[in-house]
Structure 1
Amino acid sequence: MPLFSVIIPVHKVQAYVRECLDSVLSQSFTDFELIAVDDHSPDGCGPILDSYAEADPRVSVIHLAQNGGLGPARNAGTRRARGDYVLYLDSDDTLTPGSLRAIADRLAATGDPDVLVFDYARTYWDGSTVRNIRADLLDQDAAPAVATLAERPGLLRLLAVAWNKAYRRDFLQREGLSFPPGCYEDTPWTFPVLLTARGIATLDRVCVHYRQRRAGSILTTTGRGHFDVFAQYDRLFAFLDGRPELEHWRPELYRRMADHFAVIHSSGGRLPHSARAEFLRRGRQHCLRYRTAPSAACPRQPPRLRLRRLLVRLGSHRTFRLLSHAGRLYAAARARVRQLRAPTRKAALRAHYTLQRRRPLDPDLAVFSAYWNRGYACNPAAIEEAVRTLAPHIRTAWVCAAEHAHTLPPGVQRLHPGSAAHWSALARARFLVSNVNLPHAYRKRPGQLLLQTHHGTPLKHMGLDLRPYPASAAGMDFGKLLERVDRWDFSLSANPHSSVVWERAYPAAYTTLEFGYPRNDLFHTATADDVTRIRTELGIPEGVTAVLYAPTHRDYHAGWHPPLDLARLAATLGPGFTLLVRPHYFYDAPCFHDPPYSSARYSCDARFFHGAQPQTPPPAPPQPGNLLDVSAHPSVEELCLASDVLVTDYSSLMFDYANLDRPLVLHIPDWEAYRAARGTYFDVTAEPPGLVAYGQDELTDILATGAHDTPHARELRAAFRTRFCPYDDGRAAERVVRHLFLGEPLTALPPVLPPAERQPAPSPAACRRAATGPTATPTRKPPEPEPPSAQPVPAN
């Protein structure tokens, strides 16, 4: 007997059914059967299902003699099911990767409850995905972990559907639950399930992608079929009549019914215009039939909802329509005010900026930003920290939005992007530092010094070199790009390769500073204690190999689509490995939604070495297993320090990581496609920093056998490090501050330490040996900065 029976009713979805089936059959968890029910579909769905059944023994097909709708089709699948748990999936929706594994793990962790409720996200034709707005109701930390509906009544407010739950099959048999015929069959199914379950658990993870079809679904079809909702509520209250012990739920179900009627009536595309008044009259009859005195347990609702229910109860179609029109007019008026507010504010800020530009420059003000104002990070953060140490007379300000304010070290002023204070600082600051370009409306003044730090050594084409690649350029205005580049005074370079690329891709009259990358200073100043602390905070077990997986984004993919089955990779490698997953910063959403895979949750304080340590360190996360989502961690540099090996593809992180002299593996299954879509400056497969894997099995073999750290692999990364890390010696930020902020000549700057004399931060294995050896290896400290000279700041 399998653990799961996944039941998929199928009718007129030939355009989507393959994707649905593949999303189930490609799951890393394989202990399931898939029962597809051909609901007498008139298109090609039947042959498609049969072909899948011939190819995979886990698939069985039921062909119904006539179309009966979702309810009867699901019942047919349930009768054949053999699994301990039953899941229903609509044939135009999909399971997300790793969902069945996450559901199985959660069921085991909660003692196999009657029902497990998991989350979903709506997916749209344009590729966008929006998570359920009531995801907070699925909080796994709520006590008790397994509850009845009386203990978690908020679950009634979730969308009443069958496909966001896993059901114990013997629970369904015990309660005699089945689906009725009709269009709104989920209503008299969902509520009885929740009311009768003796144990309900939740899983705070998106397991289903709920396709929002432009046409063909019940919600986008206009007709009298929506009157079926009245028969379904008759069935629901008939069920309640037969269960006196559930009578106290009647007031809450009545409110849900009135809300449901109001939603259908106010949805413009469901009811024919001529049927709206009749629909509300029928709604009034149902309200009179089933209304009961409000329960004290029912929380008081907002006035808007109470008014809407009152209009449904009274059957006031005209008043309902009048208020709906008034609401739309009010919303339109507010939108118009917002439209006028934006240009008015923009004009006022433009005038403010013009006035500020007439004021004298502030010689002691420096403004920093990184990654389009996403927070305190990268080279600008390392330089800002060094400014506070070496040039304390300089006041620093950081541009970032409120949601990233927690990343700033104590004492650093925050400038909200686009605010009057932001434009004042841009107008008057002597120094400006960023790893991306400043707003196009910014106009550089004589005497201002602008440092472009960049944010990685380029493998992929950048700047003007993107002109032959329109898909990657994405409508870039190269003329405006050059206008912004013309504002640069200095361009920071990590190696000669970068210098050549920047000067060709961003041609202008700036000065190239081959000082190394300040963000990599940490790799030469961190101690064994630092490495151990970071691994402890991440929850990495003692003695395991931590693999940092950090792929870059693809211009030809929308959204986060890792080319690896991460759950399968972690499971195959086993408990001797921990897989840290770090997507590109373009993707703000976490990698996973299931807490066993995302228990490394961070407060995002400025905890990395380019800023102050937090006053109160966050508690260590719970034991996370061997797959960790570290997308929210504020410092990729700390993640590098905590890891034993880096797995990446085309990310510039490989050039930074090479400073640590630790194993690197490239996983590049789409090398030819990537190079064709974006272009690369050299063939990384011919000059790799380590071994190269073109598929998941090959990558798994490299890691599991230790081939990633053989003498051949060490030779590859040594050559790579020699070529791309000539200036990274731990003092790059100091050189920037002394030259740019303190005006010291190039000849007076600290010389670059030869690569053979550098000591990168100790690896986790070296830290363990030092801690257990007969004599502890002394920890290293950052090099002491030399006292600044009195040289004047260079003229622009």
Structure 2
Amino acid sequence: MEVLKKYISLVIIYLFNCLPIKKNKIFLFSYYGSQYGCNPKYITEHILKAYPKDYFDLVWAFNDPDSKLDIDGIRSVKTMSLHYFYELCTSKVLITNFRTTDLFIKRKEQYYIQTWHSSLRLKQIEKDAEENLPTSYVQMAKKDSEKCDLLLSGCEYSTEIFKRAFWYDGEIFKNGTPRNDILIHSNNDLRTSTLSKLNIPSSCKVTLYAPTFRKDKNLDVYNIDFAKVKEALAKKFGGEWIFLVKLHPHLMAMSNQITATAQVIDVTQYDDIQELLCITDFLISDYSSLVFDYSVTKKPCFLYVPDLEDYTQNERGLYFDLEELPFIKVLSNEELMWKIQNYDETVYRKELESFLSEIGSYENGYAAKNLSARLEEICFR
């Protein structure tokens, strides 16, 4: 049945690839249609604010477009539908934050922008992690890189990783990460609306626990004592604290096992992690790349890694020794409380600034603006 579906899809693509391309049409999707988020969202948001209506024709693909009816300024299609293939085949530009499959047969006149989904990685990726990746994914990634025309990078360190590990030798756009623009420019309206969506009073301070997943999906490592952390934060920084927990999408169905307490709010289902980072005053993560996104806010970030030895031996390799990072590493709840109490903002910020300089950060808050200018050239030159 799957083989038949693919064959039919390829026939449809062949037919639609005979139709004219609409030069101002941009086709976007994030994580294969699962959300309205990440870099494609923030490119879209900038275009909608900065350009006249209908200057660009923005088409988004969603697995469930009926759940995205409240997004103004875009047209939406259901992934893998007949309409989906028509819009994909007749778009001038394709923008995504992940790999495309062999059901994107790029036309000569089309332009494919790969934004990727992090400004910098801690866990090794692509060719650097090839031995830990399925063969099918590696083959898909190689084919995807051949189609790519432009790859976005958040820092010089990432650029070097992409050159080495992406099976790609084309242009790298060294202008930062569109999704991080909102973390650099203070946006009180966004903060207010996000707090409102979560029913959090504006007077509260927010701590977010956002760890990555483990291959065995072990939940024992997420054993933070939420109540004691809230007490420690209130004692150190003052105010009333709200605890949010966002687990990795791979653990979405299991999040209630971690958050079944009145002490926390489960935001695992929340589409846009950047909006959550925007309201976060104190981040706790582990091996997730979002710590590098959050670093541009200059706010405190702790790495809760009770399984550090096991993780580094049995999961993917890391690009950095955790001791090289400016973020504060802790191995237990006791150490977490102690380091919160002894947190020194001056020391932390100095080490953070040094690290951002060392990796050659491109983040200046204008990534989406600069990419939109390139889109004008691509579509209307």
Q: Shared topology, TM-score over 0.5?
A: yes
Return the alpha-carbon distance in structure 2 between the equivalents of residues 360 and 664 of structure 1: 50
Does 2:195 correspond to 1:535?
Answer: yes
Secondary structure of 1:363's match? strand
Does 2:354 correspond to 1:719?
Answer: yes
Does 2:381 correspond to 1:743?
Answer: no
- Residue of 319, 326, 332 corresponding to 1:681: 319
Once the two structures are TM-superposed, the CA of residue 662 in structure 1 deviates from its matched residue by 0.5
- Residue of 335, 349, 365 corresponding to 1:698: 335
Return the alpha-carbon distance in structure 2 between the equivalents of residues 427 and 365 of structure 1: 10
- Residue of 203, 207, 216 corresponding to 1:557: 216
Does 2:85 correspond to 1:423?
Answer: yes
Does 2:244 correspond to 1:580?
Answer: yes
Once the two structures are TM-superposed, the CA of residue 656 in structure 1 deviates from its matched residue by 0.7
Cα pair distance change 1:491/1:733, threshold 3 Å = same
Cα pair distance change 1:581/1:477, threshold 3 Å = closer
Once the two structures are TM-superposed, the CA of residue 529 in structure 1 deviates from its matched residue by 4.9
- Contact 1:590–1:631, Cα closer than 8 Å, also in 2: no
Once the two structures are TM-superposed, the CA of residue 430 in structure 1 deviates from its matched residue by 0.6
Return the alpha-carbon distance in structure 2 between the equivalents of residues 507 and 474 of structure 1: 16
Return the alpha-carbon distance in structure 2 between the equivalents of residues 712 and 650 of structure 1: 22
- Residue of 665, 670, 689 corresponding to 2:307: 670
Amino acid aligned to 2:376: L
Once the two structures are TM-superposed, the CA of residue 417 in structure 1 deviates from its matched residue by 1.3
Once the two structures are TM-superposed, the CA of residue 527 in structure 1 deviates from its matched residue by 3.0
Return the alpha-carbon distance in structure 1 between the equivalents of residues 202 and 140 of structure 2: 52
- Superposition map of 1:441-456 within 5 A: 441-456=103-118
Partner of 1:463: 126
Once the two structures are TM-superposed, the CA of residue 724 in structure 1 deviates from its matched residue by 4.6
**CA-to-aligned-CA distance 1:523-558 (integer Å, 9 cap, x gap):** 13333454345335434456554211111122x323
TM-align CA RMSD: 2.6
Amino acid aligned to 1:591: S
Cα pair distance change 1:362/1:571, threshold 3 Å = same
Cα pair distance change 1:345/1:660, threshold 3 Å = same
Cα pair distance change 1:362/1:536, threshold 3 Å = closer
Cα pair distance change 1:432/1:524, threshold 3 Å = same
**CA-to-aligned-CA distance 1:358-405 (integer Å, 9 cap, x gap):** 122221211001112111100011112223344442111111111673
Once the two structures are TM-superposed, the CA of residue 720 in structure 1 deviates from its matched residue by 2.7
Partner of 1:158: none
Partner of 2:237: none
Once the two structures are TM-superposed, the CA of residue 742 in structure 1 deviates from its matched residue by 0.9
Does 2:16 correspond to 1:356?
Answer: yes
Once the two structures are TM-superposed, the CA of residue 727 in structure 1 deviates from its matched residue by 2.1
Structure 1 or 2, whichever has the larger Rg, is: 1
- Contact 1:407–1:634, Cα closer than 8 Å, also in 2: no
- Contact 1:570–1:577, Cα closer than 8 Å, also in 2: no
Return the alpha-carbon distance in structure 1 between the equivalents of residues 125 and 5 of structure 2: 34
Partner of 2:294: 657
Once the two structures are TM-superposed, the CA of residue 692 in structure 1 deviates from its matched residue by 1.0
- Contact 1:659–1:725, Cα closer than 8 Å, also in 2: no
- Residue of 166, 174, 177 corresponding to 1:517: 177
Return the alpha-carbon distance in structure 1 between the equivalents of residues 367 and 65 of structure 2: 29
**CA-to-aligned-CA distance 1:313-341 (integer Å, 9 cap, x gap):** xxxxxxxxxxxxxxxxxxxxxxxxxx4xx
Secondary structure of 2:60's match? strand
Return the alpha-carbon distance in structure 1 between the equivalents of residues 95 and 220 of structure 2: 33
Cα pair distance change 1:661/1:450, threshold 3 Å = same
Return the alpha-carbon distance in structure 2 between the equivalents of residues 700 and 673 of structure 1: 23
Q: Which runs of 5+ in 1 are unaligned?
A: 1-338, 598-624, 745-790
Cα pair distance change 1:437/1:672, threshold 3 Å = same
Cα pair distance change 1:428/1:582, threshold 3 Å = same
Cα pair distance change 1:404/1:634, threshold 3 Å = farther
Does 2:164 correspond to 1:504?
Answer: yes
TM-score under structure 2 length normalisation = 0.88
- Contact 1:492–1:513, Cα closer than 8 Å, also in 2: yes
Once the two structures are TM-superposed, the CA of residue 595 in structure 1 deviates from its matched residue by 9.2
- Contact 1:493–1:514, Cα closer than 8 Å, also in 2: yes
Once the two structures are TM-superposed, the CA of residue 639 in structure 1 deviates from its matched residue by 1.3
**CA-to-aligned-CA distance 1:344-370 (integer Å, 9 cap, x gap):** 554433222111111222212110011
- Contact 2:13–2:105, Cα closer than 8 Å, also in 1: no
Partner of 1:73: none
Return the alpha-carbon distance in structure 2 between the equivalents of residues 407 and 438 of structure 1: 25
Cα pair distance change 1:388/1:521, threshold 3 Å = same
Q: Which runs of 5+ in 2 are unaligned?
A: 235-239
Identical pairs, percent:
24
Once the two structures are TM-superposed, the CA of residue 592 in structure 1 deviates from its matched residue by 1.9
Return the alpha-carbon distance in structure 2 between the equivalents of residues 717 and 370 of structure 1: 30
Does 2:66 correspond to 1:432?
Answer: no
Q: Which has the higher contact order (CA 8 A, sep 6+)?
A: 2
Secondary structure of 1:586's match? helix
- Contact 2:156–2:362, Cα closer than 8 Å, also in 1: no
Once the two structures are TM-superposed, the CA of residue 507 in structure 1 deviates from its matched residue by 2.3
Partner of 1:591: 255
Return the alpha-carbon distance in structure 1 between the equivalents of residues 221 and 65 of structure 2: 30
Secondary structure of 2:208's match? strand
Secondary structure of 2:377's match? coil
**CA-to-aligned-CA distance 1:609-652 (integer Å, 9 cap, x gap):** xxxxxxxxxxxxxxxx5311111222211211222111111111
Cα pair distance change 1:403/1:595, threshold 3 Å = farther
Secondary structure of 1:557's match? coil
Once the two structures are TM-superposed, the CA of residue 439 in structure 1 deviates from its matched residue by 2.1
Cα pair distance change 1:562/1:364, threshold 3 Å = farther
- Contact 1:582–1:630, Cα closer than 8 Å, also in 2: yes
Return the alpha-carbon distance in structure 1 between the equivalents of residues 220 and 33 of structure 2: 25
Secondary structure of 2:27's match? strand
Amino acid aligned to 1:680: L
Once the two structures are TM-superposed, the CA of residue 509 in structure 1 deviates from its matched residue by 3.3
**CA-to-aligned-CA distance 1:440-464 (integer Å, 9 cap, x gap):** 2321111110000000111111111
Secondary structure of 1:631's match? coil
Return the alpha-carbon distance in structure 1 between the equivalents of residues 171 and 190 of structure 2: 36
Amino acid aligned to 1:717: L
Amino acid aligned to 2:293: D
- Contact 2:286–2:305, Cα closer than 8 Å, also in 1: yes
Once the two structures are TM-superposed, the CA of residue 719 in structure 1 deviates from its matched residue by 2.0
Once the two structures are TM-superposed, the CA of residue 433 in structure 1 deviates from its matched residue by 0.2
Return the alpha-carbon distance in structure 2 between the equivalents of residues 664 and 354 of structure 1: 49
Return the alpha-carbon distance in structure 2 between the equivalents of residues 440 and 563 of structure 1: 37
Amino acid aligned to 1:486: E
Amino acid aligned to 1:490: L
Once the two structures are TM-superposed, the CA of residue 424 in structure 1 deviates from its matched residue by 1.6
Return the alpha-carbon distance in structure 2 between the equivalents of residues 572 and 480 of structure 1: 43
Return the alpha-carbon distance in structure 2 between the equivalents of residues 464 and 682 of structure 1: 17
Secondary structure of 2:256's match? coil
Return the alpha-carbon distance in structure 2 between the equivalents of residues 694 and 460 of structure 1: 19
Return the alpha-carbon distance in structure 1 between the equivalents of residues 152 and 253 of structure 2: 31
Amino acid aligned to 1:527: N
Return the alpha-carbon distance in structure 2 between the equivalents of residues 572 and 426 of structure 1: 48
Return the alpha-carbon distance in structure 1 between the equivalents of residues 172 and 220 of structure 2: 36
Once the two structures are TM-superposed, the CA of residue 569 in structure 1 deviates from its matched residue by 2.7
